[in-house]
Structure 1
């Protein structure tokens, strides 16, 4: 059984489809929220994860692709799975290029949909873990003072203490003390470790 902490947001204008999917997902242990109109999902907002959206492609007023685009504009970054009885290759390609995890034509098997949901939630959990790691990393660097941040940058570039002192117009002894504090605050024991931390920070900025 899947943890109930994983939430599925199901969007379909067919009440019978909504009821069927809601029952199936609840049996599998998911928390389920159903929306008969795409604007109801927009009004709900992103919320916290892990969660995944399962939505129909063809809906009145706002189709699935338009809803996907609007969600992205609002900063919604949770995974999306499309289901459709009218799906064609161009629509599927457009959906996938825009970040959809899967595109399942109706009729589809319960096993295929559940497998797609599990893939989507696995991606969601990985993304959340990376985001959490990045926040921890940012917190470590935010402990540096503006001058210590300058020292950090120079050290990462391979400059010696005397070269840094010349760049900053300060005493080498002062640079040595500040450099020591930088290494201590970041909990690194070498320049190589410091460089790796900076690369991690910049790669996720």
Structure 2
């Protein structure tokens, strides 16, 4: 399988040398003189890849690019390159999810070790994103009322409480709950709660749930 490395650096001589080294090692390489260029020609994330980016770039910096890619939901791991080490910047980048931080000139062993680690992270991230996309698709299959029941069940409410909140009978709630379990493809309450956790719908004990006039759920302290 082809593996892509995207190099972002404003030093043309460095880009050319790094591109040559990476291609000799068997990687597919694309180079960019700025962060803006990479964003304009955004890589295909369905293909295994990682980004090598200089911290200091004209215009958008490497750290700012990292933030922007995170906002876009990118799963491409980032390896930072710098000729002038900065402890604070390094710590911030690593905390924000950077795969590695390499000092120029970079030894081939260090470079390829970092890239191998980045591709390993890419596979994990893509698998996690695929599962989350599937979970969101299951949630999207619910009707608005089923979504309300799903959220209330996930927050620990029993059928009687849900019936009171939604203004209907327990029998109706049981029917909705059954369809929720079927559509979300879960076999137990534990699985349903786990699904809600993955989707960011957390259980909240000791709270009162009520409906607004528009039908949305409001959580307030009991």
Does TM, normalized by the shorter one, top 0.5? yes
* Structure 2 counterpart of 1:82: 80
* Structure 1 counterpart of 2:26: 29
SS at match of 2:199: helix
2-structure distance, mates of 1:26, 1:185: 47
Gaps of 5+ in 2: 203-222
SS at match of 1:202: coil
1-structure distance, mates of 2:201, 2:111: 33
* Structure 1 counterpart of 2:68: 73
Q: How large is the Cα RMSD of the aligned pairs?
A: 2.7
Match of 1:118 among 109, 116, 119: 116
> Following superposition of structure 1 onto structure 2, how do residues 75-154 of structure 1 map, counting pairs within 5 Å?
75=71, 77=74, 78-154=76-152
Cα offset, 1:109, TM superposition: 1.6
For the 8 Å contact 2:55–2:62, the answer to whether it is kept is no
Cα offset, 1:110, TM superposition: 0.6
* Structure 2 counterpart of 1:19: 16
SS at match of 1:187: coil
2-structure distance, mates of 1:97, 1:112: 20
Please give the TM-score of this superposition, normalised by the length of structure 1: 0.80
For the 8 Å contact 1:42–1:71, the answer to whether it is kept is no
* Structure 2 counterpart of 1:169: 167
2-structure distance, mates of 1:91, 1:200: 31
Q: Judging changes above 3 Å, is the alpha-carbon distance between structure 1 residues 136 and 15 closer, same or farther for their aligned structure 2 residues?
A: same
Please give the TM-score of this superposition, normalised by the length of structure 2: 0.74
Q: Judging changes above 3 Å, is the alpha-carbon distance between structure 1 residues 115 and 192 closer, same or farther for their aligned structure 2 residues?
A: same
Cα offset, 1:147, TM superposition: 1.3
* Structure 2 counterpart of 1:199: 197
Q: Judging changes above 3 Å, is the alpha-carbon distance between structure 1 residues 51 and 193 closer, same or farther for their aligned structure 2 residues?
A: same
Cα offset, 1:43, TM superposition: 2.8
- Give the count of matched residue pairs: 198
Gaps of 5+ in 1: none
Cα offset, 1:97, TM superposition: 4.0
SS at match of 1:178: helix
Moved more, 96-105 or 131-140: 96-105
